[in-house]
Structure 1
């Protein structure tokens, strides 16, 4: 018989976490970055822009101007949809790239990652099917899993989504949306040609499908001609959400992104944003608007892209000697990432610990797959280090792979 002392407090267990929080794990990439954060490690694992290429002077001037001229506004609450001056400037930039857009078509978000979360809230019911490229952006997989979606991969090749495979899987699975990164995709670095984009738009129009077109890297083109957005193709106008970001072209710490969407969906995302954070920080929005008015962002992006091209070339120059015979890799025309596949006998997840011991790191490809993973793949980010460091990193990678 249990005797309870007078005034004793009996502690019952607290209620459990929500099922979605229990069942969705953390980011393997973040876990790898924590392990490889030592300064002596040449890290091809991250997806971080090169900080020495930030226009720190221009950004500092923008904040100083805003705080000197309109501190009361900059430090105050703002509208959920975003500061009008920034929305107008963004609309002008998008329109100049041949997609007619008004300020009212845009919702400013705290990075394009938040835009993706808002869309999941507004569109996805638990059990809905979402289609993704194979492989795809890891954080998108997390967002969709957290929303309770059933995620199905679409067959892809070196040019991205296979339109015939997309048509077949839409007919079979009846999905709610397709998530795609058509330009310099994360993790593969590949770009979808214009004819494929038109075909994807046609499938979406004929089958009844939302398209979420994520474009954080599109301005970082090194060579070749710009490819129009899927959103600009006939049939896609009323069913495509375009996501953009300043993180890769201005500074990720400002946490500024946006979504362009049809009116009803945009309003639903605005309501979801009100519940999430009310609005993106006013001072950051006004500073970005000032920067766009006072500086030449396109010229800055061209400088960044030229530096990234040199870094890509430094990585490409050493891969043939570093990777095992039979390996294949692509040559991205822009962006931040290169995708490599080793011979089938190699498991890049199992190899990583041994490779990090040689003070170099990559991201194994397996976590980026929605279905059965290709364990011989790896993602290499080529923008964070200078060319000479990249050359040394590739040599270390080669020594590590030969050692195992």
Structure 2
């Protein structure tokens, strides 16, 4: 059998721990709170089909041809308009790059800024795919402590002092994946200030920010950026359709130009049809009204999940109380092996994502992520009961 000489970017053991978990959770008899999928019943299929038909009728040859690497101008203009309206992030057209999902934005920033051995500061815990991306470019990670108001700025400044070589700070400030926490306003201001003071870049990842079902909106970190140190990422994956793979970066023009060159060598440009379809959709449909539908449904599902936590989980279990997004975070005291706990919960036909892959450093035992956006109400009720029973059984062992 041939032994292939893979690059150092490929995990040495060849395993995909999260993939194994999600595959197990996909069993039809399992109630899964493991994935991070939007509710498909809210996808605007009919309206989007009409938009696609109109695009083909008006621009058929154009959308089937190669396009500009930075993206369709009309969509970039709409993104610029929307981030100004929603996040108080201002800029010009040359500050916007469309990407093939926000995952590509992560990859391009990693490729552009992270050399082997560079230090990347991340929330502890943080989005596991970001860890995978930066790790593939040879990053060394330093985890920064969080509380219910997000990344702690005193802890971040201490980390910046201890690691003056740090290249990048990665944050998900709104309804963070995996914890559901939101960074407080003053901390956002401070983060932009620290970025300038220590000459470190901040990658602000905001896939969930519009999905708010209670509380007050908080402006983006980028809105406080006066020096160009903050790069802002967004996506249509949670508000329209993840399958379209439409994301964007808003950053200094020099940064966007470099990312564009790297994008050209990766995929030339983002899908033309998807971009023009969204432009056409937005001409005739109220995206805010659609997002409100999503937010209302997720709020109801999150409330059901927390009711189940209170009703069925053992005493002493802690959990976050997100004001939006798709996830909440659970901490079960006394559990030493969360992956083993996952296996035991599978025997009760319910699944979650263990917390271990979300940590850059030593994971917290007994922590795991629950997703409420992609489960029907009856599944949430039954699944939380089954999960509570599994945790009760674990506590008795």
Q: Partner of 1:3 in structure 2? A: none
2:313, 2:389 within 8 Å by CA — same for their partners in 1? no
Structure 2 residue matching 1:344: 3-state secondary structure: coil
Q: Partner of 2:67 in structure 1? A: 78
* Mapped partners of 2:12, 2:137: distance in 1: 11
1:21 to 10, 13, 19: 10
CA deviations 1:242-265 (Å, max 9, x no partner) are 000000010000000000111111
In the alignment of these two chains, the number of paired residues is: 392
Report the CA distance shift for 1:117/1:391 in structure 2 as closer, same or farther (over 3 A): same
1:55, 1:250 within 8 Å by CA — same for their partners in 2? yes
Q: Partner of 2:316 in structure 1? A: 326
Post-superposition, which runs of at least 4 consecutive aligned residues in structure 1 deviate over 4 A? Answer: 24-27
CA deviations 1:277-334 (Å, max 9, x no partner) are 0001111110011111121111100001000000000000010232222111111000
Structure 2 residue matching 1:155: 3-state secondary structure: strand
Report the CA distance shift for 1:18/1:122 in structure 2 as closer, same or farther (over 3 A): same
Structure 1 residue 200 corresponds to structure 2 residue 191? yes
Structure 1 residue 134 corresponds to structure 2 residue 124? yes
Q: Which moved more, 1:93-102 or 1:113-122?
A: 93-102
The 5-angstrom pairing of residues 29-40 of structure 1 reads 29-40=18-29
1:357 to 343, 347, 350: 347
Structure 2 residue matching 1:23: 3-state secondary structure: coil
Q: Cα offset for 1:31?
A: 2.1
* Mapped partners of 2:19, 2:8: distance in 1: 22
1:316 to 298, 303, 306: 306
Structure 2 residue matching 1:259: 3-state secondary structure: strand
Q: Partner of 2:262 in structure 1? A: 272
Q: Cα offset for 1:22?
A: 4.0
* Mapped partners of 2:102, 2:125: distance in 1: 19
Q: Partner of 2:76 in structure 1? A: 87
2:195, 2:230 within 8 Å by CA — same for their partners in 1? no
TM-score scaled by structure 2? 0.96
The 5-angstrom pairing of residues 363-382 of structure 1 reads 363-382=353-372
Q: Partner of 1:211 in structure 2? A: 202
CA deviations 1:344-392 (Å, max 9, x no partner) are 3353211111111211101111110101100210100011012222011
2:289 to 271, 291, 299: 299
1:221 to 201, 206, 212: 212
Q: Partner of 2:85 in structure 1? A: 96
* Mapped partners of 2:49, 2:207: distance in 1: 23
Q: Partner of 2:34 in structure 1? A: 45
Structure 1 residue 250 corresponds to structure 2 residue 240? yes
* Mapped partners of 1:154, 1:351: distance in 2: 26
* Mapped partners of 2:80, 2:45: distance in 1: 24
* Mapped partners of 1:161, 1:64: distance in 2: 45
Q: Partner of 2:223 in structure 1? A: 232
1:130, 1:177 within 8 Å by CA — same for their partners in 2? yes
* Mapped partners of 1:211, 1:24: distance in 2: 31
Larger Rg belongs to? 1
* Mapped partners of 1:311, 1:26: distance in 2: 33
CA deviations 1:96-140 (Å, max 9, x no partner) are 122223222100000000000000111111111000000000000
RMSD between superposed Cα atoms in Å: 1.5
Q: Partner of 1:347 in structure 2? A: 337
